[in-house]
Amino acid sequence: MTDADFDFDLFVVGGGSGGARAARIAAGYGARVALAEEHRYGGTCVIRGCVPKKLMVYASSYAEMFEDARGYGWAAPEPGSIAFDWDKFRAAKDAEIARLEGIYRSGLEKAGVANHACRATVTGPHTVRLADHGQEISAKHILIATGGRPFVPEFPGSHHVITSNEVFDLAELPKRILIAGGGYIACEFACILNGLGVETTLIYRGPEILNGFDQDVRPFVRAEMEKKGVRVILSQVIDRIEKTDAGLSAALTNGETVVADTVLFATGRRPYTEGLGLETADITLAPNGAVPVDRYSQTSTPSIFAVGDVTDRLNLTPIAIREGHAFADTIFGAKPTAPDHDLAPTAVFTQPEIGTVGLTEEQARADYDVEIYRAAFRPMMHSFSGRDERMLMKLVVDKGSRRVLGVHIVGHGAGEMIQCVGVAVKMGATKEQFDQTVAVHPTAAEELVTMRTPVGAA
């Protein structure tokens, strides 16, 4: 078949961050592009993920700000007089999400992308079917960018729980919430809801929260969360949930019962490929439903590609965007580009928040002879507030090359700091180059360039 025999040069299934970027860039190269989105444009990040979550982080932080302000001389409201209006916040949040969705939609339209607000399924290597009227469309290339969705295991009473998809649209804030999970989503929402005045309990099956993060970061963040009032239960899971007059009664594996008004499960996400029809194109999915791809995001079927969380490579919004852009450059821009997943900085918006880039201490010790530089301290911003909140700064350094292999920050502004530090780590900066950089005083970030003695040194 020639290009003219196809309805489009590219059909994108999914209008989230990765799919939308790929569609716009491909159209900019002159490709005939169509896209189908079954929910709302913007995907998980914009509609029910990063953006509304960060707005909730901001909202939840004000209670502490009011308290801290009194230490600095402000006649701030007394703790018992502070009231949060969930309805007002939710209306503002919804308006902002609608605005951002409109930007996504209009950006695609301006680029000349043919948008279809419906589900699309794959029916072959070059064809998709639109769910709204059954139309089958042909395309030279198909891009799968359907992202992921929350996963809830089956257990007695699992139908009573909600996920991160629903938490943004609760009719009212619960007085008590039980959150199952120990990853970044569970921990972020535990901090958010605690900050909004909800009695919050977090239960995690492992011995420590935030599996995969640095060994110093994990207990540090948990201790700070507990100081703020989050109850953390480790090495336990929910065995069953029953609805009672007192609320949702969750029986734990240790025999304890926790009663809450809402139970939120944040125990992981899975690629959204169920019923997508990829088997019709001879694509075999991974056991968790992920679409296997090569370094150029190409599947085993040459005409079909996939980007973003649906591939389960590095599940971050900026990564999906880069993968989508690289795909368009490769296929339509004559610029073969493999997305770079190495040394991607990231943040976890717990309270205090985490910023991290590069290797953890455990990862580094597996391949390098390392030095560790670490500082834990109460930041200057809490000098007058009396708040017992501490920061953590940690550098992981290769003794041989002196290259900084990893940077881990816990504390106010950690996400902002790690974006800048990530540039230095990506460039291969050495510990001595960190040391030669003049400290910005007085800041918390200056600790990153003033730590001189490795942990354990005399």
408 assigned to active site = no
Helix-helix angle 86-110:50-71, to 10 degrees: 140
Query: Cis ω on the peptide bond leading into residue 352 (within 30° of 0)?
Result: yes
Q: Which two tokens stand for residue 265?
A: 């499960």
Helices 17-28 and 86-110, axial angle in degrees (round to 10): 20
Q: Tell me the three state secondary structure of residue 267.
A: coil
Return d(Cα 208, Cα 391) in angstroms, integer: 19
Measured distance CA(317)–CA(89) in Å, rounded: 24
The Cα–Cα gap between 206 and 185 comes to 15
**CB neighbours of residue 320 within 10 Å:** 31
- Burial zone of 236 (CB within 10 Å; 0-12 exposed, 13-18 middle, 19+ buried): middle
Q: What is the DSSP string of 350-370?
A: -SS-EEEEE--HHHHHHHS-E
Active-site residue, selected from the candidate residues 39, 133, 160, 441: 441
Which residues on adjacent β-strands are paired with residue 201? 178, 231
The CA-atom distances, in angstroms, between 137 and each of 121, 141, 142, 323, 343 are 10, 11, 11, 24, 39
* DSSP state letter for 245: T
Q: Which two tokens stand for residue 359?
A: 């290797």
Q: Which residues are catalytic?
A: 441
